[in-house]
Structure 1
Amino acid sequence: MAEHIVHAPFPGVFYRRPDPESPPFVNESDTVASGSVVGLIEVMKMFQEIRSEADGTVTEFLVENEAAVDAGQPLMRLT
């Protein structure tokens, strides 16, 4: 299976959880479908869902939870 990288569509703060008390949207080794929510990016107190553009298994997160990210920055790797 081909590798797919999920990229940040715009700059902001990347969150792996919908809120601090909830579990992450996905963990390493989870299987995701195209269109699945895999995280959030917050910009000016507005949260935008980040969705996978491919089916696959999460093999690695490339940024930490609550990390500032730039537009186009790789967030996670799927295989």
Structure 2
Amino acid sequence: MSEHVVQSPLPGIFYTKPSPDQPPFVEVGSVVTADTTVGLVEVMKQFAEVKAGVNGTVTEIHAENESIIGPGDGILTVEKG
């Protein structure tokens, strides 16, 4: 198996969940498809969904909720499978 690091497409604030009172989009151990939303990046009050991009299992989450990230920063790692 190989690993894929999902990277931020934009600079901004990263959110792990759709709203403060909702559970995270994914957690370590979550099975994802290429189209699974793994988080949101907010730029100037606009929200962009971040997709997993591959099928597999989330093995590590690098970015914390409400952290500032830049383009290309690693958000999480997916073991392809």
User: Aligned letter for 2:71?
Assistant: A
Post-superposition shift, 1:35?
1.1
User: Aligned letter for 1:47?
Assistant: F
Which residue number in structure 2 is paired with residue 31 of structure 1? 31
Which residue number in structure 2 is paired with residue 21 of structure 1? 21
Superposition pairs for residues 1-79 of structure 1, below 5 Å?
A: 1-79=1-79
- Length, aligned pairs only: 79
Post-superposition shift, 1:7?
0.0
CA distance in 2, matches of 1:42, 1:27: 20
User: Aligned letter for 1:6?
Assistant: V
Q: TM-score, normalised by structure 1?
A: 0.97
Q: Describe the superposition over 1:15-54 as per-residue Cα deviations: whole angstroms up to 9, x where unpaired.
A: 0000001111111111001111010000011111000110
Structure 1 portions without partners, runs of 5+? none
CA distance in 1, matches of 2:49, 2:30: 18
Q: TM-score, normalised by structure 2?
A: 0.95
Structure 2 portions without partners, runs of 5+? none
CA distance in 2, matches of 1:5, 1:50: 12
